[in-house]
Amino acid sequence: MEAKSEVIQRLEAKAGRAFPHVLAARDLSAQTLCRLRELLQGHDPEDASIVVFGSFARGEYTAGSDIDWTLLVDGRADRVHFEKALAITKILHEAKFQPPSPFGVFDNVSFSHPLLHLIGGHDDTNRNTTQRILFLLESIAIGQRDALERVVDLVLHRYVGDDRGLLFSKRSKLVPRFLLNDIIRYWRTITVDFVNKQGFKGGWALRNVKLRTSRKLLFASGMLACFSLELFGKGEFRRGEGGVDPARVVRYLRERLRLSPLEQMCEVLLRPSISADTAQKVIGSYDAFMGILSDEGKRRHLSDLPFEAFGDDALFKEATSLTYTFQEGLDRVFFHEDDEIAGLVRQFGVF
């Protein structure tokens, strides 16, 4: 994770402005990643990876952010996993890292089996779906990467290998619909769950703004990753008599998913069809949102704002205005300025 992302720098040139809060968060994320690797060195068992999620994994870590993590086990259950998880929890607490949100979907230990084998069906719970999609879209291994890399690769092979329409049909567009539908399902799940959580005390305003910015960007980046075979991989996946090689598709998707959600969006915003004004609306508003999160007082204010007071609160109105600008930019990207993206959304995004 490097603060000076080449694609973000290119977008700054196109938009004609800097994105200081975005770059500051990336820098803090990179520094924190180094610190975590020093603190947790040697605490991941051979068959497991210590995996972090959320703003930290996206390169959007600020001083008030928490650390969402799990010990991903890709092997037999063993008491050492629980012992290591307790040790990691203690280390992070003593290092004064913000604990994970109580609304998080990860326990201290996660196992690969349900992520891989329970895709769809009655046993694929909201929690399991969310975990699986977050492993794909926003996860970083702190130490040993083998378990995480293996699980992500196997999950992608399920999505691609079971998608017969992608591999064998004669339709012209190469879009992994099985994967795309699960990403859409994840987005709808968190929007419904948001309403379920609004009765809980505290944090409503901050969760509302995050849903309409960082969570929405995560969903948009997942859609763009699914569209990337068409948008960026043309000519690489020609259909022969035997169809498309699933291993090549998985390798391509894996490389696309190594980009952060913001980088995924920046690559699309650099397309010639997308105007500089639209790039400014999307990333400029997101940068301003990151500025609010980086300000300890403003972040605490939104977190503590009572539900009944949000209608009269100046800071919440400011943040909400940013979400409208962000949405306007996304509308231009997905529906108006780029005919190829709009066509993919029409064909695959709804029905």
Spell out the per-residue pLDDT of the chain, length 351, in tens: 555 689 999 999 999 999 999 999 999 999 999 999 999 999 989 899 999 999 999 999 998 888 999 999 999 989 999 999 999 999 999 999 987 766 666 768 999 999 999 999 999 999 999 999 999 999 999 999 999 999 999 999 999 999 988 888 777 789 999 999 999 999 999 999 888 877 665 688 999 999 999 999 999 999 999 999 999 987 677 666 667 889 999 999 999 999 999 999 999 999 999 999 999 999 999 999 999 999 999 999 999 998 888 788 999 999 999 999 999 999 999 999 999 999 999 999 988
- Domain borders along the chain are 6-349
Report the b/e string of 142-174 with b at 16+ CB within 10 A.
bebeebbebbbebbbebbbbebeebbeeeeeeb
Model pTM?
0.93
Rounded Cα gap, residues 184 and 330, in angstroms: 16
Task: Specify the pLDDT at position 223.
Answer: 97
Q: Which of 162, 51, 161 lies closest to 111, judged by CA?
A: 51
Task: Specify the pLDDT at position 308.
Answer: 81
∠ at Cα 260 (100, 65), nearest 5°?
A: 25
Task: Specify the pLDDT at position 173.
Answer: 87
Task: Specify the pLDDT at position 1.
Answer: 58
Task: Specify the pLDDT at position 169.
Answer: 76
Pairing of strands 48-52, 140-141: antiparallel
Task: Specify the pLDDT at position 103.
Answer: 64
Which amino acid, one-letter code, is at 257? L
Q: Which stretches does DSSP call E strand in 125-229? A: 140-141
Q: Which of 14, 39, 25, 50 lies closest to 290, judged by CA?
A: 25
Q: Which stretches does DSSP call E strand in the chain? A: 48-52, 69-73, 109-111, 140-141
Cβ atoms of 310 and 265 closer than 8 Å: no
Rounded Cα gap, residues 264 and 232, in angstroms: 11
Rounded Cα gap, residues 54 and 65, in angstroms: 9
Cβ atoms of 71 and 50 closer than 8 Å: yes
Cβ neighbours, 10 Å, residue 123: 10
- Please give the structure tokens belonging to residue 347: 């064909």
